[in-house]
Amino acid sequence: MRIISDFQDYYDVGMQNGIDPQLQYRRFRQEESIKSPVRSMYTDYYRFLYIGFAGKIYPRMEGWFGKRQFKEATPYNTIEPSSGVDPTLIEDAFFLVIAKELWGGGEKYQKLGAKRIKKQVLECFEFKNAPELLGLFEQFKTAIFVYQTGGTIVINECLNRYNFQKILPPMEAFQELAMYVGARLTKPVIQEPPLSDKVKAEIHGFDKHSFRKEKTK
């Protein structure tokens, strides 16, 4: 596959092994405002993103407190399906740290906040198979996008800035992209010459002897 783009991304190294001139992907970044296909779950403290890549959706949660990143929650500052981070297995203590960092207050208040955050995170990750999100691939005729709840979508976003290599290594990402582009987005750019009726007939097993009867004595 040949990627035609005005920027470089981490999986472009796959082209070093050779490119197929008939398989091209035009990758140019473009921002669009759309009607939100999923319920908005954006707050002043964290936001939910959905990375669309080669027909699959990868949910992601990013959090902060003003301009100051979480202190105790730094290892989990971004929740995404990388390195097997399953949100259903995240300990309640993690969400309690976030609630404490955001709102403070008493222990009872923090537990209620932690429960609320966990519920939102689980809801966010449930949308990874949502047809509303999967339909964005076809709607924008793209293999890559980043959608932020609220109605903003970036088509052909650079995924290096999202550390997407933690989810898909470079060569694996390139291969998945090439298969998706070849199957769903691209038609061959090199047209085969038309075949004559004679050649078509021979391909199907018909030749000059097909309809002749042998002479009998």
Give the contacts of 38 (CB within 8 A, at least 6 positions apart).
50, 127, 130, 132, 133, 149
Nearest to 121 by CA among 144, 100, 145, 149: 149
90-100 mean pLDDT: 74
Report yes or no: 146 and 162 within 8 Å, Cβ to Cβ.
yes
Nearest to 164 by CA among 146, 141, 182, 139: 146
Residue located via tokens 């076809």 = 138
**In this predicted structure, what is the pLDDT of residue 11?**
96
pLDDT digits (tens, 9 = 90+) for 124-170: 777 777 788 899 999 999 999 999 877 789 999 999 988 888 889 99
pLDDT digits (tens, 9 = 90+) for 19-64: 888 889 999 999 998 887 776 655 556 677 889 999 998 887 776 5
pLDDT digits (tens, 9 = 90+) for 27-39: 999 999 888 777 6
Q: What percent of the chain is predicted at pLDDT more than 70? A: 67
